[in-house]
Structure 1
Amino acid sequence: MESFTYLLVEHQIIRTERLILRPITLADAKSMFEYASDDENTRFVFDTHTSIEITRQTIAEYFVASPIGKYGIELAETGKFIGTIDIRIDPMNRSGCLGYVLNRDYWGRGYMVEAGRALLDLAFQTLQLERVCSMHDVRNPASGKVMQRLGMSYEGTLRKSRYIKEEFVDDAYYAILKEEYNAK
């Protein structure tokens, strides 16, 4: 079997019915800043960006310096960049972890579930992973609903599992196994 890195590079562009998942570049800074500078949008995930330069640095240091498994979410019809989704692979355990953020102007339209399904397809069909998990701050139940729509099951809550925005937060963990995915 090919390496996970090779397979992810081979699948760095993924098309769905309404979306294109593709590498993130500095050209995405303006669109990313639209949501990264919005306190409501970043409330549970990362520090709000106070300048477009911070967004550009984040793109360079996180997305461009290590792009494997990280995707920009673009609307196929308009080319608008509306968020990001990534899968972090643990090769030893043949597992992955999804993370995502979406511009709140596009919440409630099923885009994140569509992007998540595309990455689950990649994870289980192409990468042959055994398990994919995700987590959310317990104060953000909408993110948990996305995980449920992806077929993930709640596995538990880790208390004070992350320190973000000067406080410890509890994270709810969800996961789906290969056999559960294949049964759907």
Structure 2
Amino acid sequence: MTDDARDGGLFPERLETDRLELERLCHDAVDVLDYYDLVSRRNPNVEAVIRYLPWDPHESPQETKEYLDELERKWADGERAEYLLRPRAGEDGAGEIAGSACLIVDWETRTGTPGIWLRKRFWGRGYSAERARALIAVAFERLDLDLVAVPVEDGNEKSRSAVADYVASLGGQYDGLVRNDARRPDGRIIDHHRYTVTREQYEGAAGE
């Protein structure tokens, strides 16, 4: 993984992995209407995309604008880094927006939480694990956090399998099922399976 040189901000503006480019998601990086097409019902697969995610399809371009405004504020405050995901040259769909990825930071508990959504045509390529490793490296090597926690909604077995594999490869563990851990926009109360990696585990795996 490579990232941009430090520019005085907490988060790197850009990251590169073997197959992906991660570029800061902000007004300068994407047209509001183009992004609205991806995260609204104009995307015919949006319901499948968000099935296990904590947001509803955007109802208007104004909602998308306000969402990007909020991301810029949280970036500046060091609370959340959000990135556009694009396959690199040589990948099917190179240069297209495949989805987005984030790292949410809780400074009180020194914990980072990575997240992702992908357009359906980019499922099944292992991109989720690849961006997770990049963002977990940011959490420990740049932000000096103590823990990365990855929640997976109960019932989302494909994501559980992927998360379990990359967390184990980084020395982490499965902590168990957390009951009534979150409320979805539709009012459902859901349980989460919790996977974690400590800094010590991460450094130990890197040393091996």
TM category (shorter chain) comes to 0.7 to 0.9
Question: 5 Å matches for 1:23-172?
Answer: 23-26=24-27, 27=30, 29=32, 30=34, 33-34=37-38, 37=41, 38-49=46-57, 51=59, 53=61, 56-57=64-65, 59-67=67-75, 68-77=80-89, 78-151=94-167, 152-164=172-184, 165-172=186-193
The answer (yes or no) to whether the contact 1:70–1:84 under 8 Å persists in 2 is yes
Aligned residues: 179
Name stretches of at least 5 consecutive residues in structure 2 with no aligned partner. 1-7
Determine which structure has the larger helix proportion and give its number: 1
CA distance, structure 2, for counterparts of residue 59 and residue 155 of structure 1: 32
Could you say what secondary structure the match of 1:81 adopts? coil
| Structure 1 runs of 4+ with >6 Å offset | none
* Largest Rg, 1 or 2: 2
Shift of 1:64: 2.9
Aligned CA distance change for structure 1 residues 126 and 146 (closer, same or farther; 3 Å): same
Percentage of matched positions with identical amino acids: 21
Residue 3 (structure 1) aligns with: none
Asked if the contact 2:36–2:58 (Cα under 8 Å) also holds between the matched residues in 1, the reply is no
3-state DSSP class of the match of 2:151? strand
User: Over aligned residue pairs, what C-alpha RMSD do you find?
Assistant: 2.4
Q: Closer, same or farther in 2 for the Cα pair 1:114/1:54, shift >3 Å?
A: farther
Bigger relative contact order (CA 8 A; separation at least 6)? 1
Deviates more, 1:90-99 or 1:52-61: 52-61
Contact 2:88–2:95 at 8 Å: present in 1 too?
A: yes
SS where residue 98 of structure 2 aligns? strand
In 2 relative to 1, CA 50–129 (structure 1 residues): closer, same or farther, beyond 3 Å?
A: closer
Instruction: Please list every run of 5 or more consecutive structure 1 residues that lacks an aligned counterpart in the other structure.
Output: 1-5
